[in-house]
Amino acid sequence: MFVTIPGRERMPLRWATPVLFSLLWLCFIAVELMTGAEQHRLLMEWGALSGGLASPEAWLQAIRTGSVLRLFTALFLHADWAHLLGNLVFLLIFGLPAERAMGPWRLLILFLLGGAVANLAAVIAIGTPDRLIIGASGAVSALIGAYLALFPAAKLGVVVPLGLFLQFVKVPAPLLIGVWALLQLVFTFIGPAFGAVAWSAHLAGFAFGGVFALIARAGIARRMRRRRGF
pLDDT digits (tens, 9 = 90+) for 17-50: 999 999 999 999 999 999 889 999 999 989 988 8
The pTM for the full model equals 0.84
Residue 158's nearest CA partner among 227, 93, 76 is 93
Question: Does the pLDDT of residue 3 top 60, yes or no?
Answer: no
pLDDT at 94: 93
Which residue type does 55 have? S
Query: Confidence class of residue 4 from pLDDT cuts 50, 70 and 90?
Result: very low
Strands 155-162 and 132-133 come out as unpaired
**Residues 105-127 pLDDT 10s:** 999 999 999 999 999 998 888 87
What is residue 71's predicted lDDT score, i.e. its pLDDT? Answer: 93
**Contact 135/75 with Cβ under 8 angstroms?**
yes
In this prediction, residue 223 has a pLDDT band, given cuts at 50, 70 and 90, of low
Residues 192-209: pLDDT tens digits?
A: 554 556 788 899 999 999
Helix (H, G, I), strand (E, B) or coil at 157: strand
| Of 125 and 140, more confident | 140
Cα separation, 106 vs 89, in Å, equals: 20
- pLDDT, average across residues 143-158: 87
When comparing pLDDT for 156 and 91, which is higher?
91
